[in-house]
Amino acid sequence: MTAYRILSLDGGGIRGLLSLVLLQRLEKELPGWLDRTDLLAGTSTGGMIALGLAHGVSLAELREIYEKRGKCVLHGSWLDNVRNLGGTRGAEYRTKNLRAEVRRVFGNARLADLKKRVLIPAFDLDNGKAGERCWAPKFFHNFPGPDSDGDQLARKVALYATAAPTYFPSVDGYIDGGIVANNPSMAALAITQDHRAFRRSPPEHDRIALLSVGTGKSLLRITGKTHDWGYVQWAKPILDMILDGVAGVADYQCRQILGNRYHRLAPVFPRGMAIRFDAVDKIPELVTFAESRDIAGTVAWLKKVWR
């Protein structure tokens, strides 16, 4: 019998809308399954969704934010484009509209005030540790213990989690955790084994259920066998390669450790359909794609394992 249930949500910018539509469809098939989740882990846009759900925001409300406010958040003026030389000397977007939105959603709620446990990856550009000062991953969480981030404001963590390089400026020295855990499944599984986070014994692997939800995979590739490239040539594809790569590693690790107690719902876009993180003009296309995906396998897995 399952004792601990984890929902993990990938990063992907506006493509988080795809995850929300999939979650809504699952909730329609199995009402109440989401309420039984013990831990919500999310990276970047997935972190925003995870924090929202833990704060009590409904799937419908979150979807409305993406569909109606996405264009406002991901809005860059022609003047911004001139100032940053077409994205070569500055981020694509300012954080002003995003700050306003997360303040509206979360107010002054702290991670400790949330209704669920959360794990939100970010990346600290300068950890400030004496003798070990360097950049390092940071996993914000509200589990009890000496390293708890319970006093952190949820809206602040949401900004840290979504500060994707080239898209948004860093916030308080943090950037998007997608560069280390775009699929945070393995990080979520790891924290369940931390004795400091559990007052009683951590749950055994055979009593954990982990559902990992993606934001759509594009069939990107680089043809040819030899690429004598430098900084300029690698700059464009490298971020997508890193995000896809770290997501694949986490998928492999969780599948090997948990077996059939792990399930990955990650639709693959058809050839030629590549949706950028900021493609707000593709919102209708994203919704149509998400509504057409076959979720029967995920429903069957939830019925069997999420009990």
Six-digit token pair at 127? 């950890």
Distance of CA 172 to the CA centre of its chain: 19
What does the pLDDT look like over 46-80, one tens digit per residue? 999 999 999 999 999 999 999 988 788 776 443 34
> 45-54, 85-94, 230-239 — which is least confidently predicted?
85-94
Q: 21, 287 in Cβ contact below 8 A? A: yes
Q: Could you tell me how many helices (H) and strands (E) the chain has, helices first?
A: 12, 7
**Alpha carbon distance 142, 280 (integer Å):** 32
Q: Is the pLDDT of residue 8 over 60?
A: yes
Question: Would you state the pLDDT for residue 75?
Answer: 61
Distance CA 175, CA 169 (A): 8
Q: What is the pLDDT of residue 35?
A: 96
pLDDT at 91: 76
Average pLDDT along the chain:
88
- Alpha-carbon gap, residue 128 to 100, rounded angstroms: 29
246 has a pLDDT exceeding 90: no
Could you count the other beta carbons within 10 Å of the beta carbon of residue 268? Answer: 12
Tens digits of residue pLDDT in 191-230: 999 877 776 788 889 999 999 999 988 766 778 888 888 7
Q: Which of 10-24, 39-53, 215-229, 264-278 bottoms out in mean pLDDT, i.e. has the lowest?
A: 215-229
- Give the per-residue pLDDT at 299: 98
pTM tops 0.85, yes or no: yes
